[in-house]
Amino acid sequence: MRVRTVVWRGARLGVTIGVWPAGIVGTLCLVAAFVCLAGGHDGTAWTLTVTGTFAVLGSMAVGVTVGTATGLALALAPRGLLTRAPLRGLLAALTAGLPVAALSVAALTGDGYTLASYPPSIHFLTWSATLAIALVAAARSGDIAGYGTGH
């Protein structure tokens, strides 16, 4: 299988990974901006619109990057690893999950904050999203690498 095809499939997975948080955050920011605009808070509405736009673009960029990296890792992996589903899934999960976990820690620990500064709900959301991304990448690794049911 060509490397370009596998990387392209990984990028498509990345779009799927990025579109869910982008849609949720974008919708919430847009609704909040309309509420603020109706209440006469033009500055807050503009801030929410800009924040939502950056959140959507950032989510999509991270998703496509993670998906492309997963596709590239699977394209360059040896055939013996790709034919074993648990190993292939582990490679995909680590390739997708570790950068997201590192990005989450970096985002949460800026400006003198530590991970202990946040309530358990933030940790639950952060690590649940990271785990979900890793599990989706592992589950779709066969389709990306060309060893799934449809190939």
pLDDT digits (tens, 9 = 90+) for 84-142: 999 999 999 999 999 999 999 998 898 888 988 899 999 999 999 999 999 999 999 99
pLDDT band with cut points at 50, 70 and 90 for residue 149: low
Residue 111 — φ and ψ, nearest 5°? Answer: 60, 40
**Confidence band of 2 (pLDDT split at 50, 70, 90):** confident
Cα distances (Å, whole numbers) of residue 46 to 12, 43, 60, 71, 106: 32, 5, 21, 38, 27
Q: Cα(58)–Cα(29) distance, rounded to whole angstroms?
A: 14
Structure confidence by residue, pLDDT tens digits, 26-84? 999 999 999 999 988 989 999 999 999 999 999 999 999 999 999 999 999 999 999 99
**CA 54 to each of CA 47, 64, 85, 102, 135: distance values in angstroms, whole numbers, following the listed order:** 11, 15, 37, 20, 26
Dihedral sign from CA coordinates of 72, 73, 74, 78? positive
